[in-house]
A = this chain, B = another copy of it.
């Protein structure tokens, strides 16, 4: 049973990612609590969805912090980021897929801040000569997130083994992003 807020939010993601229009009853059941308690924790559907977005963004920000993406070689930094973020790939997938989150101002601000950090990482990598300059840093950022979301889906749906997730993402993306491919 999930009593604390974050546990409920994780359960909510599990349901909402598959069916964004799922009823609150279903979400409450997935979290192992009643609809009344769910409503006590989050006053309304919008609040719940917004909190889910904020949770995902906190995880993303945390991964960016832990990976120290602002420091050192951009290639190594990106590999550190992949290691950190892949476990939360599904959360990021929900983040990109749920367009309703774009209405939430707090979510939007934090989202753009994190995207900016990712964008800066690719820009720095291009200046360092490790990332290709034919592809814009904006597109690299977006593509990275698209593949990260894809990893999340593939793992959740059982199409990809969890232990292959990091490798599959890193190899495919870096192969296309690095200026000198596959210098393992």
Contacts from A to B (Cβ < 8 Å): 18-21, 97, 99-100, 132, 134-136, 138-140, 142-143, 145-147, 149-150, 153-154, 159-160, 164, 167-168, 171-178, 181-182
Beyond the given A19-B100, A134-B171, please list 14 additional residue pairs across the A-B interface where CB-CB is below 8 A: A97-B97, A132-B175, A136-B164, A138-B154, A139-B160, A143-B147, A143-B150, A143-B168, A146-B149, A172-B173, A172-B177, A174-B176, A175-B177, A181-B182
CB distance from A24 to the nearest CB of B (A): 15
How far, in whole Å, are A139 and B145 apart by their CA atoms in the complex? 16
The oligomer's copy count stands at 2
The answer to whether B154 touches A142, judged by C-beta atoms less than 8 angstroms apart, is yes
The answer to whether B99 touches A18, judged by C-beta atoms less than 8 angstroms apart, is yes
How far, in whole Å, are A136 and B176 apart by their CA atoms in the complex? 17
The answer to whether A171 touches B135, judged by C-beta atoms less than 8 angstroms apart, is yes
The answer to whether B173 touches A21, judged by C-beta atoms less than 8 angstroms apart, is no
Our pick among B150, B164, B171 for the contact of A146 (Cβ within 8 Å) is B150
14 contacts between A and B (CB under 8 A): A21-B21, A21-B100, A132-B175, A135-B171, A136-B164, A139-B160, A143-B168, A143-B172, A146-B147, A146-B150, A147-B147, A171-B176, A173-B176, A181-B181
Contacts of A171 in B (CB 8 A): 132, 134-135, 176
CB distance from A76 to the nearest CB of B (A): 18
Contacts of A182 in B (CB 8 A): 181
The answer to whether B18 touches A168, judged by C-beta atoms less than 8 angstroms apart, is no
Contacts of A154 in B (CB 8 A): 138-139, 142
Contacts of A145 in B (CB 8 A): 150
Contacts of A146 in B (CB 8 A): 146-147, 149-150
The answer to whether A153 touches B149, judged by C-beta atoms less than 8 angstroms apart, is no
Contacts of A181 in B (CB 8 A): 175, 181-182
